[in-house]
Structure 1
């Protein structure tokens, strides 16, 4: 485990790891924003709401990142021990301790923000959104149909639901 932990420390140096994760979040949110074509929303009010939400997300997400980051890094080190033998980990660590190796490991997440990767990710995310929307609509229709055919289930669900703030 020591070898794997050393590799993870090189990948995510303690003094920059939080910024690395924050940058990745910013890059991904930017790609989501562009994939959703937020800047093309014709209504200025809706466009502002969406942009405000995207702008707020890093601040909303970072406390959770900070909370889970130690666990994420520990799990990453553990995953390395599952995937690689001790001898392989020693070789990876030796590479990681070279200037090229440490740069490679430390910049791998940064590549998500590269314009070429971002362009493909945006198209990918846009395509996934279409599938997700279609599936959500299909699933909603299927559930409504099921509940109409099974009013006893609908009644149970109605009895167990959490009242909304409007009630």
Structure 2
């Protein structure tokens, strides 16, 4: 089983997926959702970019397409670090979103326009962001959601408690099985 910090991050991803679905997005969870854009690598769902494929914590497609636009696919990245996310995390987000937005898969001509997507990126952090990360993300249109503010206590406290209980239950089970 995972260590507690990893478990907290996983639980945060699951909560964000639930929130995204409740916000009008259809969750994309397998290659079958779009075999051209998505691929599996082991247990990971990955999105094809121009240069490489990219792991995604949560991926959703907006239920409606804005008028005269491309369908919107939203990347959600969850960081449950003990310190604020640094500039490098924002740079990674920008690199991913640029690469997937530049991907163009040449498909056989059907007489109809080929399907493309506009990818957006939201980065969630349980411990906030450094000023450098904030400035860079703002300039590159990466959405930052700081979960360390009191408004998100309702989300982070139950995640921390659940992770602690799961780790405690694992320890208790391990102790009993070694008797």
TM-score by length of 2: 0.27
Greater RCO between the two (CA within 8 Å, min separation 6)?
Answer: 1
TM-score by length of 1: 0.29
Q: Which has the higher helix share?
A: 1
Between Structure 1 and Structure 2, whose CA radius of gyration is higher? 1
Q: Which has the higher strand share?
A: 2
